[in-house]
């Protein structure tokens, strides 16, 4: 059984269904770093540590889309609880610029910028089955301990 809900925040609508969190930002916003940090904090408050795919939709009527906000969304601190993230922006040039930036930088491959919402959602759904969680310190310690107990047989 799938858990689904919709939550209205002052800066947008959060909708969670089938492991996908869709965040539709309100119009006439300045999409900057503090706003994206509020979105991430709200996600953590709503979902806790549940691992989700996240689709962030920036409306056509945004006032400004800050480059540092997009860059922050791809950093490991912003990805806590998110295995894949797609950001839909309303301008082709932004998508091309960000894809080029992603190619030449060390941006994580599980974050991508799109122009089309359906394509972004398809990309997220395509990767939902291929997600392998990043190891934490605890899982690495358990794996090392388990490997140490397994006897190596030589033939």
- Give mean pLDDT, residues 129-148: 44
On the question of pLDDT at 149 being above 70, the answer is: no
- Ordered domains of the chain (ranges, CATH): 5-149 (3.30.750.24)
SS (H, E, C) 14-65: EEEECCEEEEEECCCCEECHHHHHHHHHHHHHHHCCCCEEEEEECCCCCCEE
How deeply is 28 buried, as exposed, middle or buried, from its count of CB atoms within 10 A (0-12, 13-18, 19+)? exposed
- Give mean pLDDT, residues 123-144: 55
pLDDT tens, residue by residue, 2-13: 568 899 999 999
b/e burial code for range 55-90 (CB count within 10 A of at least 16 → b): bbbbbeebeebeeebbbbbbeeebbebbbbbbbbbe
pLDDT tens, residue by residue, 43-101: 999 988 788 999 999 888 777 777 788 778 888 788 888 889 898 887 765 666 666 56
Closest to 15 measured CA to CA, from 55, 44, 74, 49: 55
Mean pLDDT computed over every residue of the chain: 76
Q: Count CB neighbours of 132 within 10 A.
A: 6
pTM: 0.72
């Amino acid at each position: 059984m799938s858990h689904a809900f919709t939550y209205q925040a002052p800066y947008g609508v959060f909708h969670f269904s089938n492991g996908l969190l869709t965040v539709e930002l309100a119009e006439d916003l300045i999409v900057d770093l503090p706003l994206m940090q509020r979105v991430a904090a709200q996600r953590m408050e709503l979902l806790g540590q549940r691992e989700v795919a996240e689709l962030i939709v920036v409306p056509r009527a945004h006032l400004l889309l800050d480059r540092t906000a997009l860059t922050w969304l791809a950093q490991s601190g912003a990805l806590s609880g998110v295995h894949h993230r797609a950001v839909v922006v309303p301008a082709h040039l932004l998508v091309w610029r960000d894809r080029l930036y992603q190619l030449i930088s060390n941006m994580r491959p599980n974050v991508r910028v799109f122009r089309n919402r359906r394509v972004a959602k398809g990309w997220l759904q395509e990767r939902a089955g291929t997600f392998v969680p990043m190891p934490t310190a605890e899982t690495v310690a358990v794996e090392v301990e388990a490997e140490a107990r397994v006897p190596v047989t030589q033939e």
